Amino acid sequence: MAVYTPQVVRQVRIFYIVAVLVWLLLVYLLGLFSHGWGGILIAIIPVVVAVIAFIQCPYLESAREEDIMRANFLSLGLIVAISLFAILEKSYLGERRTFAAVVLLAVVASLISLMYVWVGPKYLSLTRHFKSYMQTISVTLLIYAVYLYFIYSEKSGLS
């Protein structure tokens, strides 16, 4: 099993730099840093994941990617979990627009991660990293939605 070539390492690293910048812009536009320390900690999860991938990139193997991408039930589970928020939403007292945007973006990121883009071997690793990062963003946004629900719920003891 061969590790990534220097060209693949460079492509993947550039991807993670751009992905973190896009994530930080999204966090800023949604105002996710304005909901306390818990929100800040949740919002930095994709940055931490990207930094780990950036550092470990030269040691990754294409064969390992296949093991990681084989089971993709996460996205379908997220779609089911998001529907539960429709039920919970009635007792939510925070800003509904932010809550709805976070939930909607979690679903969109999850659905995007289900797409397959057929590319040649030169870009296959890059598409796998993209799918993985979209799942990370989706899970992070779902965690953030749960956090928002509990800090702004009428029955919550966290607020």
Asked whether residue 156 is domain-assigned, the answer is: no
Number of domains in the chain: 1
Range of the domain at 18: 6-151
pLDDT confidence of residue 154: 61
Asked whether residue 46 is domain-assigned, the answer is: yes
Residue 61 pLDDT class (50, 70, 90 cuts)? confident
Instruction: Give CA torsion, residues 109, 113, 117, 120, to 10 deg.
Output: 120
Asked whether residue 105 is domain-assigned, the answer is: yes
pLDDT confidence of residue 14: 97
Answer yes or no: are the C-beta atoms of 30 and 22 closer than 8 Å.
no
What is the pTM (predicted TM-score) of this model?
A: 0.83
pLDDT confidence of residue 36: 87
Asked whether residue 128 is domain-assigned, the answer is: yes
Query: CA-to-CA distance for 33 and 25, rounded, in angstroms?
Result: 11
Q: Quick one: tokens of 58?
A: 């030269």
pLDDT confidence of residue 16: 97
Residue 159 pLDDT class (50, 70, 90 cuts)? very low
Asked whether residue 120 is domain-assigned, the answer is: yes
Asked whether residue 140 is domain-assigned, the answer is: yes
Angle, vertex CA 62, rays to CA 57 and CA 67, nearest 5:
105
In this prediction, what percent of the chain has a pLDDT beyond 90? 31
Average pLDDT in the 144-156 region? 76
| 90: pLDDT strictly greater than 70 | no
Asked whether residue 157 is domain-assigned, the answer is: no
Asked whether residue 72 is domain-assigned, the answer is: yes
Average pLDDT in the 54-73 region? 72
